[in-house]
Structure 1
Amino acid sequence: MSESSPLPEDVLPAVRRLANGVTVVCDSMPGLQTLAVSVVAGRGARYEDAARCGWSHLMEHMVFKGANGRSAQEIVEAVEAQGGQINAATGYERTSYQVRALEGGLDLGLSTISDLLFRPTLSPDDLAKEKQVIAQEIAEAADDPEDRVFEMAQAAAYPDQPLGRPILGTVESIGAATPESLADWRARLYPPNALVVAAAGAVDEAELLELAERDFGPQAAQPGPALSYPPASFDGGAVAEADRLEQAHAVFLLPAPAATDPDYFALRLFAEILGGGMASRLFQEARERRGLAYAIDAYAETYLDTGLLGVYAGCAAKDARELAQVVAGEIASLARRVEPRELARAKAQLKASMFMGRESPLARAEHAAGQLLIFGRLLGPKELARRIDEVAAEDLQRLGERMVSQGRAAASVLGPKGALPAAEVFRRSLAA
């Protein structure tokens, strides 16, 4: 939003904390007939050791097999009978359980998620079946070249670390889980001080607090053994695998600031200028001018203590080396000079994405939970817009130098043999 049309002052949703440490946030959106509730645990795959790799995702699957005396079918039928939808997602640092519903569906949504988190059945028969399901999910990811090349790049960036291991785990690590060991892991994953109950849309704060106390109060969430993770280290490296594919797939990574770093917004803008859209440098240079790739884009991924700048591209094997050089060259060029027009475009795109997301109750609930888990407070749209606008070209140049000068790039290439050298070509070109 331009300076001529300033945002109104932020009026932030109310945040409350239950006696046992569960955080509750209510973001009412007048005029809506729907709501979303998201219960987010600040725990995920990053908290696993190698022996438990994939257990957080397995736990997410298992709770849906039955809870508090209800079967999997009974759980979903109860939610869908009221027009609702239920889902869940596991990441490296967070696990979220979400219900979208019509107005009036908050009671059912919260009680259902509470059952999933605190009263899952965890039967041996269900566990055996779900291990087979996840084994197929792992196989499906291995068969998808885009999934596989991202997994390879993550492992190259963070070798022998939780952030470098797949969220899905391995067939061997999943196979080692028992109902008893999963019950212990559940207690570790979902302690009250790591939970945020966030609701947005057609919700009333008083009702939310009453229901949250009922479903997530001291009687529901007892603290389990503490969990921690080792500090991340972006080591970098190159990995390439030959596969019978028509196209080569490549991911190029650089170490970047963490979510709480002052350069966070500079990183988001750097990625936007580099490859965030059709007007980005990489799209124009690699696709429009040279015809090297049909798909190419850049992105920023941040964690609590580390981050990465990434570029994904799909190209013909014969073009992979040149494409790697172009990506490295555009990163280095952006670190030297940022044009005012492209910085202005990137700021407009980033703010547009932020404001469009606020039109969705589920997105607002998820964003609120994420902010509370990362920063311990909410950041309103005016504050976010101001912090985006404050980023100067010099900040992006300084950030670019910071990322490139570390000399720890990571790259992965999957596809025909002729494309495989592109991983090392990127690392050498960046260091030149």
Structure 2
Amino acid sequence: MPGLETTALCVVAGRGARFEDEARSGWSHLLEHMVFKGAGQRSAMEIVEAIEAQGGQINAATGYERTSFQVRCLAGGLPLGAAVLADLVLAPRLDTQDLTREKQVVGQEIAEAADTPDDLVFEMAQTAAYGDQPLGRSILGTVPSIGGAEPQSLADWRARLYDPAALVVSAAGAVEEAELLDLAEQHFGAATAPDEGATSPDATFQGGESVAAKPLEQANLVFLLPAVGVSHPDYFVLRLFAEILGGGMASRLFQEAREKRGLAYAVDAYSETYADQGVLGVFAGCAAKDATELAKVAAAEIAGLGDSVTAVELARAKAQIKGAMFMMRESPLARAEQTAAQLLLFDRPLPPAEIAAGIERVSLEDLARLGDGLRASGRVAVSVLGPRQAAGAAKAFRQTLFG
């Protein structure tokens, strides 16, 4: 990216919490924590000191289908960043005492999520959608499941999760391709494959309800409908459907639920996509007395959107998605992460012009077809968290959408 003085470097494994069985639930996230406790010849302090001494930053993230390690650094910091990330991925120490302490830390993270309504309500919806499948379990795992991890079993899991066949090294910003290739060969060229890599089972959207009464000021609501995955031809149709439904201040949900009726301060729609499937989601926070009415409004907007989208709405949604895409590409870290994800999914980076063309190809008829498909499944996952008065929102949403 010409003109930049910084570089973003990512090492991304195309595996995450979706690859865990129940006994290993949360191990991928726990492992991401543990590699920072010491790797290669560096201690935990030396890892961060080495990066920060050169003006850089280091971080990591675990998702259902990917685990990412990231360094942001000044121009010239790529050799150190590559060396540190290679140690984290390939040579963590996994000390017994460190593991004991980190289990406590992750246990507090699990407790914090349980105490945060707008985190917990999404986990409830995920479980309602996918049940006891890996996609239905929290990425954080549970205290009992992470408690079962030992240094050797976690080391075995590291070998399967960070299998070199599923690793991508990606950089953007002030970087030369030849240097990156040399560093990748130097630090990852000798990595050996495990006897067996981690595998992900197929998932099925089951649907259901999860309602929990809690003495909160607001009711927190999530509605999920089964949809297509990131590699499906209708991926951009789903993205545009979600944008028109509740992607911004001009969206239908924002205008109807907030501006016209005053039912909620926060209300939006989104799409969450995995390799093979996805969901259309709606989140709202509202007064408990308004939860049922808000659920009806959300369901009615979903039911009627496909057949009533105007050309003006579709054009605005296309502009918004393209704008977000190109804005993201101006961030070196976002570009490096996006390219790594594309390589893992499609075996190649997707040119921006190709993505923009895919967005532009979506028609009003496509949106109508997607809307029909959303309703035809007859399945929905609903989570409601808050005062008891809000409990009726789950039934109201289902009845309004499906009759």
Letter in 2 for 1:116: L
Secondary structure, counterpart of 2:296 in structure 1: helix
Letter in 2 for 1:322: E
Gaps of 5+ in 1: 1-28
In the other structure, the counterpart of 1:244 is: 215
In the other structure, the counterpart of 1:98 is: 70
In the other structure, the counterpart of 1:33 is: 5
In the other structure, the counterpart of 2:58 is: 86
1:331-352 Cα deviation digits (max 9, x unpaired): 0110222111110110000000
Secondary structure, counterpart of 1:64 in structure 2: helix
- How far 1:304 moved relative to its partner? 1.0
CA distance in 1, matches of 2:191, 2:74: 26
Contact kept in structure 1, 2:56 and 2:71, CA below 8 Å: yes
CA distance in 1, matches of 2:360, 2:283: 27
Secondary structure, counterpart of 2:249 in structure 1: coil
CA distance in 2, matches of 1:224, 1:109: 29
Secondary structure, counterpart of 1:215 in structure 2: helix
1:299-328 Cα deviation digits (max 9, x unpaired): 000001110000000000000000000000
1:47-94 Cα deviation digits (max 9, x unpaired): 000000000000000000001121111100000000000000000000
TM-score computed with the length of structure 1 as normaliser: 0.92
Letter in 1 for 2:68: S
Secondary structure, counterpart of 1:251 in structure 2: strand
Letter in 2 for 1:59: L
Say whether residues 1:329 and 2:300 are aligned partners.
yes
In the other structure, the counterpart of 1:139 is: 111
In the other structure, the counterpart of 2:20 is: 48
Say whether residues 1:120 and 2:92 are aligned partners.
yes
- How far 1:224 moved relative to its partner? 4.3
Say whether residues 1:384 and 2:355 are aligned partners.
yes
Q: How does 1:269-284 map to 2 (within 5 A)?
A: 269-284=240-255
Letter in 1 for 2:86: S
CA distance in 1, matches of 2:203, 2:63: 16
Letter in 2 for 1:84: G
Letter in 2 for 1:79: I
CA distance in 2, matches of 1:354, 1:62: 33
Secondary structure, counterpart of 2:202 in structure 1: coil
TM-score computed with the length of structure 2 as normaliser: 0.99
In the other structure, the counterpart of 2:42 is: 70
- How far 1:130 moved relative to its partner? 0.1
1:158-183 Cα deviation digits (max 9, x unpaired): 01100000000000000000001000
CA distance in 2, matches of 1:227, 1:78: 32
In the other structure, the counterpart of 1:424 is: 395
- How far 1:380 moved relative to its partner? 0.8
- How far 1:423 moved relative to its partner? 1.2
In the other structure, the counterpart of 1:215 is: 187
Within the candidate set 137, 144, 163, 2:135 is matched to 163
In the other structure, the counterpart of 1:17 is: none
In the other structure, the counterpart of 1:23 is: none
Say whether residues 1:395 and 2:366 are aligned partners.
yes
Say whether residues 1:312 and 2:283 are aligned partners.
yes
CA distance in 1, matches of 2:192, 2:363: 45
Q: Percent identity?
A: 67
- How far 1:45 moved relative to its partner? 0.1
Letter in 2 for 1:85: Q
CA distance in 2, matches of 1:309, 1:76: 39
Letter in 2 for 1:332: A
- How far 1:204 moved relative to its partner? 0.7
Secondary structure, counterpart of 1:166 in structure 2: coil
In the other structure, the counterpart of 1:20 is: none
CA distance in 1, matches of 2:275, 2:86: 27
In the other structure, the counterpart of 1:253 is: 224
Secondary structure, counterpart of 2:61 in structure 1: strand
1:373-405 Cα deviation digits (max 9, x unpaired): 111111111111111001001101100111111
Letter in 1 for 2:383: S
Within the candidate set 366, 369, 376, 1:405 is matched to 376
1:254-288 Cα deviation digits (max 9, x unpaired): 00001111000000000000000000000000000
Contact kept in structure 2, 1:252 and 1:409, CA below 8 Å: yes
Secondary structure, counterpart of 1:336 in structure 2: coil
Say whether residues 1:107 and 2:83 are aligned partners.
no
